[in-house]
Amino acid sequence: MNGAESLVRTLLSGGVDTCFANPGTSEMHFVAALDRHPEMRCVLCLFEGVATGAADGWYRMRGDIAATLLHLGPGLANGLANLHNARKAGSGVLNIVGDHTEWHLANDSPLRGDLEGVSRAVSHWTRVSPDAPSVAPDGAEAIRAARSGNGRVATLILRAHAAWEKAAGPAPVAPSPPMHRPDAALVTAAARALARPGAVLLIDGPALHGPLAETAGRIAAKTGCRLIAPYLVSRIARGAGAIRIERLKYVVEDNVAFLADTTGIVLCGALRPVSFFSYPGKPSLPEPPGCPILDLCAPDMDIAWSLDALAAETGATAIAPARMPVDLPEIPTGPTTLDKVGDALAALLPENAIVVDEAVTSSRPLNIPTETARPADWLHVSGGAIGFGLPCATGAALACPDRRTVALMGDGSAMYTLQSLWTMARENLNVLTIVFANRGYQILRGELANVGVESYGRNAARMFDVENPTLDWVALAKGHGVEARRATDIDEFTKALRHGLAAEGPYLIELVC
């Protein structure tokens, strides 16, 4: 048995059975080992950012880790943006990155780079396996690290000689270390803070869906506090029956107004709210000056225990939480507006769908009508690095093949990782992609105004517009093996939406808007 074989067996015995891969020469012994184990599902991605984003989407829906296989420093660097998003989302990802042999590194070959430095830019845990006997124990530690703290990014660097030389066998994976919990005095202080008029309980991560959201909803119902989530969240349950949770805003002034009457904020699994960017004369922190912030439970602490303790302290364990009603709009007709698109989506979105939202400016009008649609999970680009949506939808669809996944994409951001469409086609994934073809990076026009620039000329316009030539998303989709249709009014869009939601395998709608 060589080091590569010992690593594959360690992964499988540790419960890691899916690998999003873009391998190269240095990883060929590991590829051969993977080939000997068909129980490991290997998913080829045609760009490393697709592999890392898919692993993020997998974790968000499965709650457990998948592996990525990447090639040297440049391969890892290509996947960095979506690892940044995964880190901000609290997703556990295990990267296996091949590297040269120790003696070849000394020769400064073309692909040599600061692989450890690249890894540390986004990884919570980085280790180089220097020899074959170390590979399996290091792999077991990598699995443990990726699962710890509610999900972390772990990167194992596999030197080529460590993969091909003789190793002893797989290594057992130890349980993740226990998570820290707040002390009783802090729980009591949080309960008192939430009982005050104008209090906010800000939650994130696993508290936004499933049983933990139920507990948070009971606390809000008992204390009368506002229950709020960040603007961009990793996963939130929305639609009929979901816990009523408000979301922070994107625009600085909107956020300031949203929190204007807040008298105190208790954080549970969430970070202190902060504006997306800094602007001349605008605040970075949106809460009122002097507003007390109580950090009950950091994102890497025991969120479930903390919410249960807070529910007990507030007497909320038997309280019914506030839930969203069902209110499906009529299917619209006529010329396209984003409000009508939101109504059509809310009316037709199937129960238990997974919605990956990277439509950027186009997605804001969709939020209100879909609040009372059929229940669904919504996934957002938590780290703000675009090129997230299509890879995340790929991983989510692989993690939950019995559910319909819908990717809402801006045309500019979809171009970052359109290679995802090929993987969707190859794996026959039930992903409906809606590309909002507004022919430009519309958010940048707004951001230019936000920094005080009231007009702009040719250079700025050419950096904002995605036209001349105009992107043909129907042709791009079909070139990757995905059936597609263009819609130029709401009636065409509704017809295409019905068809795409019923289709077997991937489907794309280019909505000209």
Burial, 331: exposed, middle or buried (Cβ in 10 Å; 0-12, 13-18, 19+)? middle
Three-point CA angle 53, 405, 339, nearest 5°: 105
Angle at 391 between CA 389 and CA 395, to 5 degrees: 115
Report the pLDDT value the prediction gives residue 102, as an integer from 0 to 100: 76
The whole-number average pLDDT for the span 306-333 is 97
Examine the pLDDT at 363 and tell me if it is beyond 90. no
Mean pLDDT calculated for residue range 426-450: 84
Q: What is the pLDDT of residue 104?
A: 66
Which positions ≥6 away from 52 have C-beta within 8 Å?
20, 68, 70, 79, 80, 82, 83, 86, 93, 95, 391
The first and second tokens of residue 453, run together, are 């620039």
Highest-confidence segment of 70-84, 109-123, 436-450: 70-84
Across 121-125, 245-249, 278-282, least confident range: 278-282
Of 263, 406, 255, 276, the closest CA to residue 345 belongs to 406
Task: For residues 39 and 269, give the distance between their C-alpha atoms in angstroms, rounded to a whole number.
Answer: 35
pLDDT at 61: 98
Residue ranges of the alpha helices (H) in 349-489? 367-370, 389-399, 411-414, 420-427, 442-450, 458-464, 473-479
**Residue 45 pLDDT > 70:** yes
DSSP state of 48: H
pLDDT of residue 357: 97
Residues facing 487 on adjacent strands: 511
Question: Where do we find the tokens 């709210």?
Answer: 273
All structural domains of the chain, each given as residue ranges with its CATH number in brackets, are 3-164 (3.40.50.970), 184-314 (3.40.50.1220), 338-512 (3.40.50.970)
The pLDDT value recorded for residue 466 is 77
What is the model's pLDDT at position 510? 98
What digits encode the pLDDT tens for the residues 389-435? Answer: 999 999 999 999 999 999 999 999 999 999 999 999 999 999 999 99
Average pLDDT of the chain? 95
Specify the pLDDT at position 58: 98
Separation CA 394–CA 389 (nearest Å): 9
Percent of the chain with pLDDT over 90: 88
**Average pLDDT of the segment spanning 476-491:** 98
Task: Give residue-wise pLDDT tens across range 88-131.
Answer: 999 999 999 999 777 666 778 777 789 999 999 999 999 999 99
CA distance 486 to 506: 15
